[in-house]
Amino acid sequence: MSGLKIAAEFFPMNERDLDAVAALEASLQIFPWSRGNFEDSLTAGYSVWVLRLGGDLIGFSVVMSVIDEAHLLNIGVCKRYQGQGYGARMLRHAMECARLGGAAKLFLEVRPSNERAVELYRHFGFRQIGTRKGYYPAVVGREDGLIFDKELA
């Protein structure tokens, strides 16, 4: 072996990716998005991307833009590749796509129990601007959603 490292690359999500993206999402979430949710995002023209390492799909993001604002609807990285900087790359890419699409601000919601994600968003300068009470389904009852935003300009 030459020790060459394979670079991860971004590609626009397409119909052929839907099964793999839905399977990845199901491996990450207790209450995952369905394949139909991702398909609807494609159909709606959202900014939907996958991250591939070699031929393997290791991450995805979904961003909805409206006028000069964008909303990060979903983002995920395969558990095997978490903690290696791929989540940060996905987030940077999502922010840049939103900015290039004309968004001045990016919003998102996150579970307080998703401490790694909360830490990542804060690291990138997102600030908590509110809480949606009972926003997420939980194993018992509901879990709040922390609302974050970040200026992109």
pTM above 0.85, yes or no: yes
For the chain, the C-alpha Rg in angstroms (whole number) is 15
How many CB atoms lie under 10 A from the CB of residue 111?
17
Which residue segments constitute the domains of the chain, with CATH numbers given? 8-108 (3.40.630.30)
pLDDT of amino acid 3: 58
User: For every one of its 153 residues, what pLDDT tens digit does the chain have, with 9 covering 90 and above?
Assistant: 455 667 999 999 999 999 999 999 999 999 999 999 999 999 999 999 999 999 899 999 999 999 999 999 999 999 999 999 999 999 999 999 999 999 999 999 999 999 999 999 999 999 999 999 999 999 999 999 999 999 998
The crossing angle, in degrees rounded to 10, of helices 35-43 and 18-28 is 130
pLDDT of amino acid 153: 80
Measured CA to CA, the distance from residue 21 to residue 51 in angstroms comes to 10
Give the bridge partners for 107, in sequence order: 71, 149
